[in-house]
């Protein structure tokens, strides 16, 4: 019965993650990318502190972890800036599908390359992985929606491909941390707030958000609290409860929820290429990741420790 409850909560978390794309698109209508990014981290930090306190999450940390957390926070800030700037130029639905499906593909390629750099001759690509990568490339071509070669380097495409690569690297960096994942989320969010703090000296409009209408605050609540703080915490608790492989399979819902929320909030109608590319990308992600449970075993190990 408790597992069923966690399955329901995981579906909700994926819905929060998907909805954050459309909500973020609305936020940048009100303020610049750096202003929105700072306040997103600030309010997410407040919510994360409440979650850590309520769940009594241990915050034990050693000095060796600080360098990884600092680098992860830098990548997190870089991701957020590219994320919000990219949403100025691209649709939330297509961008959400593109980034969330490219991340596991990039993570796999980086991991495989790392094995090869270590000259691990026992690590070879399996047939399902090769097929998954091939489908991932086809999906990427569809999602980039290339009418010409010039569009390959369009602003939205470049920003979101870099977002996916950035987050894949961040994921690999966090694998070196041996603290509770919910605490990792708290520490990275806190360090991200610190890194963004200097913009108060350069952005005179930082406090203008407190004059914005309810629509802005509702979207900020979705992005900062429901997605960044609550959704991530539910996901990590799900990993501990139902297992890493089963919990990870729920990530396949994010592209669909991104498209659905973009239609509901922004009235964006996905193109045939977006739907085709999204379907191929989800299947590619399934082949690459869910056939390789050990890729997610690091999360379970951290939770056990």
Distance (Å) of CA 20 to CA 87, 203, 224: 12, 24, 9
> Phi first, then psi: what are they for 194, rounded to 5°?
-65, -45
More confident residue, 197 or 174: 197
pTM over 0.85: no
Q: What is the pLDDT of residue 73?
A: 93
The answer on pLDDT for 64 being more than 50 is yes
Q: What is the pLDDT of residue 207?
A: 92
End-to-end CA distance of the chain: 26
HEC string of 66-111 equals HHHHHHHHHHHHHHHHHHHHHCCCCCHHHHHHHHHHHHHHHHHHHH
Beta-carbon count within 10 A of 297 CB: 13
Stretch 272-301: mean pLDDT, rounded? 62
Stretch 148-171: mean pLDDT, rounded? 73
Mean pLDDT (the chain, rounded): 79
Stretch 94-111: mean pLDDT, rounded? 79
Closest CA to 301 of 252, 236, 246: 236
Which of 67-81, 90-104, 207-221 is least confident?
90-104
Q: Do the beta carbons of residue 7 and residue 66 sit within 8 Å? A: no
Q: Do the beta carbons of residue 39 and residue 220 sit within 8 Å? A: yes
The dihedral through the CA atoms of 113, 115, 116, 121 has a sign that is negative
List the Cα angle 40/281/149 in 5-degree steps: 90
Q: What is the dihedral of CA 133, 245, 261, 263, to 10 degrees?
A: 40
Closest CA to 216 of 78, 27, 47, 25: 27
Can you list the alpha helix ranges (DSSP code H) found in the chain?
Answer: 2-27, 33-55, 63-86, 92-117, 127-144, 155-174, 181-196, 214-220, 232-242, 244-249, 254-266, 272-285, 297-304
More confident residue, 243 or 238: 238
Instruction: Kindly indicate the confidence band of residue 11, based on its pLDDT and cuts at 50, 70 and 90.
Output: confident
Q: What is the pLDDT of residue 140?
A: 65
Which of 164-168, 217-221, 229-233, 237-241 is least confident?
237-241
> 266: buried, middle or exposed (CB in 10 Å: 19+, 13-18, 0-12)?
middle
Please state, in angstroms and rounded to a whole number, the distance separating the CA atoms of residues 18 and 227. 8
The dihedral through the CA atoms of 65, 71, 50, 256 has a sign that is negative
Instruction: Kindly indicate the confidence band of residue 35, based on its pLDDT and cuts at 50, 70 and 90.
Output: very high
Q: What is the pLDDT of residue 298?
A: 39
Q: What is the pLDDT of residue 245?
A: 54
Stretch 157-173: mean pLDDT, rounded? 86
Please state, in angstroms and rounded to a whole number, the distance separating the CA atoms of residues 153 and 41. 29
Q: What is the pLDDT of residue 240?
A: 62
Beta-carbon count within 10 A of 10 CB: 25
pLDDT digits (tens, 9 = 90+) for 119-144: 555 555 666 667 777 776 677 666 66
Rounded percentage of the chain residues whose pLDDT exceeds 90: 30
The answer on pLDDT for 206 being more than 70 is yes
Please state, in angstroms and rounded to a whole number, the distance separating the CA atoms of residues 229 and 184. 11
Instruction: Kindly indicate the confidence band of residue 294, based on its pLDDT and cuts at 50, 70 and 90.
Output: very low
């Amino acid at each position: 019965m408790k597992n069923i409850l966690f399955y329901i909560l995981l579906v909700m978390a994926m819905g929060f993650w998907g909805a954050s794309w459309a909500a973020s698109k609305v936020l940048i209508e009100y303020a610049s990318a750096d202003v929105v990014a700072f306040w997103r981290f600030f309010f997410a930090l407040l919510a994360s502190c409440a979650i850590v306190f309520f769940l009594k999450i241990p915050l034990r940390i050693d000095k060796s972890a600080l360098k990884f957390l600092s680098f992860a926070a830098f990548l997190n800030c870089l991701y957020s800036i590219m994320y919000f700037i990219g949403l100025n130029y691209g649709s939330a639905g297509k961008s959400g599908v593109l980034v969330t499906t490219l991340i596991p593909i990039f993570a796999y390629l980086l991991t495989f390359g790392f094995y090869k750099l270590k000259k691990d001759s026992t690590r070879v690509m399996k047939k399902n992985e090769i097929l998954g990568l091939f489908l991932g490339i086809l999906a990427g071509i569809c999602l980039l929606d290339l009418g010409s070669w010039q569009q390959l380097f369009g602003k939205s495409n470049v920003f979101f491909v870099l977002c996916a690569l950035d987050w894949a690297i961040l994921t690999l960096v966090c694998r070196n941390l041996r603290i509770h994942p919910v605490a990792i989320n708290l520490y990275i969010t806190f360090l991200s707030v610190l890194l963004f703090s200097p913009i108060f000296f350069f952005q005179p409009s930082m406090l203008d958000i407190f004059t914005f209408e309810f629509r802005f605050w509702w979207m900020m609540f979705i992005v900062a609290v429901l997605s960044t703080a609550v959704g991530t915490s539910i996901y990590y608790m799900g990993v501990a409860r139902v297992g890493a492989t089963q919990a990870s399979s729920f990530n396949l819902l994010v592209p669909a929820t991104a498209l659905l929320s973009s239609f509901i909030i922004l009235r964006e109608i996905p193109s045939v290429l977006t739907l085709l590319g999204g379907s191929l990308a989800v299947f590619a992600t399934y082949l690459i990741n869910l056939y390789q449970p050990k890729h997610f075993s690091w999360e379970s190990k951290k939770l056990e420790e």
